[in-house]
């Protein structure tokens, strides 16, 4: 699987169950959310602008997309919502590796450099280095309509993992466009 | 990483946080447990007996171990506990692949054939085929003292995933033998 195929398979609306583990205190958090992943045009001004902000030629970008989410945690009553643009920049010299540009989130005070790779098994692994911490995200498809995602954050020395989370993301079957693409796949038995 | 290294790294006492996702009903389950993984001697009569029950020459086995667990779920007040013996049988023709023999669990009415493989990334993937369902388990180390484990069960046709779960397993630092092996690794910051 290459990055274009991975993004293509991710396009759609997803119903997500996320469990957060606070490893120091053995706490659980439960979040239910809806995630929309929408393909963007390579010529979209926001894509070009994001590439420019990283001083990268936008001609090197492929399969840019917007991800937005709206969810509710059992920890507070606030609705968690947001949206970001993501732009893969494949490495011309190393197959299935590259950078992933992302709009700066409100939680990030500095630009983050994210490196992705896709394993032979089809697992997308994203490593993001921050000033004092490093995040790893692993995403893979159990079926065409079910994604799993494991995220973890460790100290920049790499020895201490602070939090981990697991999401199971089911394609929303009311999303007709994707149901049409994979008509024989069901996430849950009828 | 080969199977002997993977088992060696798993030996010890682990404090586990497990989140179960029921995908059809969007339910969460939370389980806290303690897991003990103990190396067994290759000549242990129980190891030899388990190989015989699968008609496999026990000389082909390496790194057999016993896994026992004791935990509590937020779904009921019962203590979940059990113990099983696991015996890897490496495939002589395919590196980092093989079978994993397991004592029949009380939930299994028939022998299950489990096939493991270890990816280049060091992820241990175990596929178990039952009569009408298939289970996949992925285990990898985030640090020497932190294992992640994602399990999912799908229908035997492979299209419907019924449940998924995520465990973060922290090596219990009161287990002196393992702390001695990796003195500089901490799971949580001090």
Whether the per-residue pLDDT at B184 is higher than 80: the answer is: no
Q: Is residue B74 part of a domain?
A: yes
Q: Is residue B141 part of a domain?
A: yes
Residues of chain A with pLDDT under 70: 77-78, 105-112, 156-159, 174-190
Are B17 and A23 in contact (CB < 8 Å)? yes
| Chain A residues whose beta carbon lies within 8 Å of the beta carbon of residue B26 | 15, 17, 32
For residue B104, the distance in angstroms to the closest alpha carbon of chain A comes to 26
The Cα-based distances of A79 to A31, A70, B178 in angstroms read 10, 7, 43
CA–CA dist B123, A73 (Å, integer): 30
Residue percentage of chain B with pLDDT more than 70: 83
For residue B38, the distance in angstroms to the closest alpha carbon of chain A comes to 23
Q: What is the pLDDT of residue B114?
A: 93
For residue A144, the distance in angstroms to the closest alpha carbon of chain B comes to 9
CB-nearest partner of B185 from A30, A119, A159: A159
> Does residue A131 sit at the B interface (CB-CB below 8 Å)?
no
| Chain B residues whose beta carbon lies within 8 Å of the beta carbon of residue A185 | 159
Q: What is the pLDDT of residue A72?
A: 85
Mean pLDDT for the stretch of residues B38-48? 97
CATH number of the domain residue B21 falls in: 2.40.128.20
Contact B144, B9 (CB under 8 A): yes
Encode pLDDT of B53-81 as tens digits: 999 999 999 999 999 999 988 877 667 88
Are B23 and A146 in contact (CB < 8 Å)? yes
Q: What is the pLDDT of residue B110?
A: 57
CB-nearest partner of A160 from B123, B160, B187: B187
Q: Which residue of A has its CA nearest to B24?
A: A188
> Does residue B183 sit at the A interface (CB-CB below 8 Å)?
no
Are B188 and A143 in contact (CB < 8 Å)? no
pTM: predicted TM-score of the whole model, two decimal places? 0.87
CB-nearest partner of B143 from A24, A143, A159: A159
Q: Is residue B24 part of a domain?
A: yes
Report the length, in residues, of chain B.
190
Q: What is the pLDDT of residue B157?
A: 64
Q: Is residue A163 part of a domain?
A: yes
Q: For residue A127, give every residue at least 6 positions away whose Cβ sits within 8 Å of its Cβ, in sequence order, or none.
A: A114, A115, A116, A134, A135, A136
Q: Please give the tally of structural domains in chain A.
A: 1
Q: Is residue B112 part of a domain?
A: yes
Q: Which residue of A has its CA nearest to B32?
A: A26
Q: What is the pLDDT of residue A165?
A: 97
> Does residue A120 sit at the B interface (CB-CB below 8 Å)?
yes
Are B150 and A146 in contact (CB < 8 Å)? no
Q: Which domain holds residue B102?
A: 3-181
DSSP state of A95: T
Query: Which of A27, A142, A179 has the highest number of chain B CBs within 10 A, making it the mutation to test binding with B?
Result: A142
Q: Is residue A187 part of a domain?
A: no
CA–CA dist B8, B24 (Å, integer): 37
CA–CA dist A89, B61 (Å, integer): 45
For residue A97, the distance in angstroms to the closest alpha carbon of chain B comes to 14
For residue A98, the distance in angstroms to the closest alpha carbon of chain B comes to 17
> Does residue B185 sit at the A interface (CB-CB below 8 Å)?
yes
Q: Is residue A188 part of a domain?
A: no
The tokens 């309509």 sit on which residue?
A145
Read off φ and ψ for residue A140, nearest 5 degrees. Answer: -145, 160
Q: What is the pLDDT of residue A132?
A: 82
CA–CA dist A86, A99 (Å, integer): 10
Encode pLDDT of B152-167 as tens digits: 998 866 567 789 999 9
Q: Is residue A186 part of a domain?
A: no
Encode pLDDT of B166-182 as tens digits: 999 999 976 544 444 44
For residue B185, the distance in angstroms to the closest alpha carbon of chain A comes to 6
- pLDDT band at residue B100 under the 50/70/90 scheme: very high
Query: To which H or E segment does residue B115 belong?
Result: strand B113-118
Are A23 and B185 in contact (CB < 8 Å)? no
């Amino acid at each position: 699987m290459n990055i274009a195929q991975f993004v293509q398979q991710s396009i759609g609306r997803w119903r997500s169950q996320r469990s957060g583990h606070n490893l120091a205190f053995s706490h659980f958090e439960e979040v239910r959310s809806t995630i929309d992943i929408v393909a963007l045009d390579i010529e979209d001004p926001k894509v070009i602008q994001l590439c420019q902000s990283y001083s990268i030629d936008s001609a090197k970008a492929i399969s840019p997309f917007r991800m937005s989410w709206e969810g509710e945690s059992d920890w507070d009553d606030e609705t968690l919502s947001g949206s970001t643009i993501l732009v893969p920049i494949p490495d011309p010299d190393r197959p299935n590796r590259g950078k992933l540009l992302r709009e700066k989130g409100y939680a990030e005070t500095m630009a983050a450099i994210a490196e992705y790779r896709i394993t032979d098994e089809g697992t997308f692994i994203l490593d993001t280095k921050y000033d004092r911490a490093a995040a790893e995200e692993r995403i893979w498809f159990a079926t065409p309509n079910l994604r799993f995602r494991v995220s973890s954050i460790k100290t920049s020395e790499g020895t201490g993992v602070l939090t981990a989370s697991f999401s199971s993301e089911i394609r929303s079957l009311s999303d007709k466009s994707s149901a049409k693409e994979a008509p024989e796949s069901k996430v849950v038995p009828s």
